[in-house]
Amino acid sequence: MSLSKYVLAYLKTNYFTACLIGFLLAILLLRHIKKPRLSSRAWLILIVFLGLALRIGWIYSSSYTPQASWNPQHMLESDVANVHAIELTKGIWFHDAEGKPSARRPIGYPVLVALAYKLFGVNIAVAYALNLALFAAAAVCLYLIGRLVFSQRAGLLASFFFSIFPISIYSINMITDEHLFVPLWFFGLYMLLREIHGRRVRGALIWYGLIFGYAAMTRPNVIFMPFVVAFAYALLKYNWKKVLTSFALVLLLMQGLNLPWLIRNYNIWGVYLPYTASTAYIYSRVNSNATPEGAGRIPEKGEPGYSEELEQAALAKNEGLYDVLCQRLMRRWILEHPLEFLDLGSKRFLHFMCWNRTGVWPIWFQYYDGSFDPSRPLHPALRHFYEESSYIFYYILFFTFLIGVVFLICRWKEAGEAQRKSVWVLFSCFAFWCAEHMIIYPDRKYRFPLEVMMILAACHFLSFWIWDFRRPALFFKRR
């Protein structure tokens, strides 16, 4: 399929379009509704309680429970993370079903779940309570960033839309990294944005190294954060020595926090494996056999790109060496086929961000054969409702985000200097994440943190649309 067809997929219309138009018109009524006079803190508490109620309702209605031990017939990502957490309470440090050391999954979130299990007992209700607390923390972080960068109303709206976010609700009973990653990453960003707004953060670089280091151990995508911190300091017009120092210190602290894991992996496999042994899967989707939708396989004997050394590592079941060799082969393919990679990566990114129907990942995980209680299946009509709600929400979010970006650009000169710098920092995070997903498998599960960030720009526009909109001044102020 040509690149233009992936672009044109964004321009197709269906009843989602009517939902977007209806949404934008309906929320204008909010300005005419008499609201109770509550403080922003009270509104935030109500919003968080709404989000908690929706998630608790999902926990009770879903028939999915993560596996508590290795099941040879069924083990998906959430199951593996939960088993790792349970085994950590017994002193078993990330082994596979055969009892051999593994580094397939990021360790940050299972370690936290294991700590909760150790403190309160190995019970899935403990993990659910932890996820609920992490949701509340994420909602508060989103409010704080929205208030700091845009306005108090934008912050409250962002927290509200996150609270009713279907993907966040549906995944609350899964043991998945995003629960920890989102509040961790956004809290670190909030601290960085506070500096941009002239609010001193004592020991800032140390905090960034520790917070973003643990975030990278939870979701390795954010290995780019030293660049973002240095970029923020350059925007603040610090001298080049401080900019370079900020980059180096944050990078060293991030890797220092991860050093025990790095040493553990080196002692086992004799290679440096900083986060996860997941490159093999990525490489299988980044070569001449790959498709933008994520299909593909590692080249076999007789095909371009075949490696006998890689095959030997696979036969020896050397997970670390296999991963390192896949990294090398993937880099070689990208460098030797730059145009082919650019075409594949561009299509992959467009597929990754598109609003079309490709399945709702929390529903798929929970109602995959063997995942749920067979005596409590999900009725097809109810599944359709849950999935369509998610599709509609993302469609509205995506296009409202695009409008929000245009709104920001058109009103750029009217924005304060601190707001402009903050937007540049958030944009740099967005751009780095998108660039990574020209390579990484385009599973829309990995889009979740970006969707949370998109809520901020969307709610900046919606705040204006609801309370300040006057037809002649939609994008430009009247003179």
Mean pLDDT, residues 262-268:
94
Is 451 in a helix, a strand, or coil? helix
DSSP character at residue 378: P
| CA 157/CA 147 separation, integer angstroms | 10
Note the helical H segments in 202-318: 204-218, 225-235, 240-257, 259-269, 279-284, 308-315
Residue 206's pLDDT is 96
1/131: higher pLDDT: 131
The first and second tokens of residue 467, run together, are: 């309370």
| CA 167/CA 69 separation, integer angstroms | 26
472 part of a folded domain: no
Element (H, E) at 446: none
Shortest CA distance to 461 belongs to which of 157, 29, 143?
Answer: 157
Question: What does pTM read for this prediction?
Answer: 0.94
Mean pLDDT, residues 398-423:
95
Q: Please state, rounded to an integer, the average pLDDT across all residues of the chain.
A: 93
pLDDT value at 34 more than 80: no
Contact 85, 114 (CB under 8 A): yes
Binned at pLDDT 50, 70 and 90, residue 478 comes out as: very low
139 part of a folded domain: yes
Mean pLDDT, residues 357-378:
92
Range of the domain at 48: 3-25+42-459
Q: Is the dihedral of CA 389, 360, 52, 462 positive or negative?
A: negative
314 part of a folded domain: yes
Q: Which burial class, exposed, middle or buried, applies to 129 when counting CB atoms under 10 A from its CB (0-12, 13-18, 19+)?
A: middle
**DSSP bridge pairs for 372:** 64
pLDDT value at 471 more than 60: no
89 part of a folded domain: yes
Shortest CA distance to 68 belongs to which of 125, 118, 131, 122?
Answer: 122
Binned at pLDDT 50, 70 and 90, residue 248 comes out as: very high
35 part of a folded domain: no
Contact 70, 56 (CB under 8 A): no
| CA 369/CA 296 separation, integer angstroms | 24
Mean pLDDT, residues 216-238:
96
Residue 201's pLDDT is 87
Contact 254, 205 (CB under 8 A): no
**DSSP bridge pairs for 95:** 101
Residue 452's pLDDT is 97
DSSP character at residue 101: B
129 part of a folded domain: yes
| CA 203/CA 185 separation, integer angstroms | 18
Residue 479's pLDDT is 43
Contact 296, 338 (CB under 8 A): no
Q: Domain count for the chain, please give it.
A: 1
Binned at pLDDT 50, 70 and 90, residue 477 comes out as: low
468 part of a folded domain: no
Binned at pLDDT 50, 70 and 90, residue 436 comes out as: very high
469 part of a folded domain: no
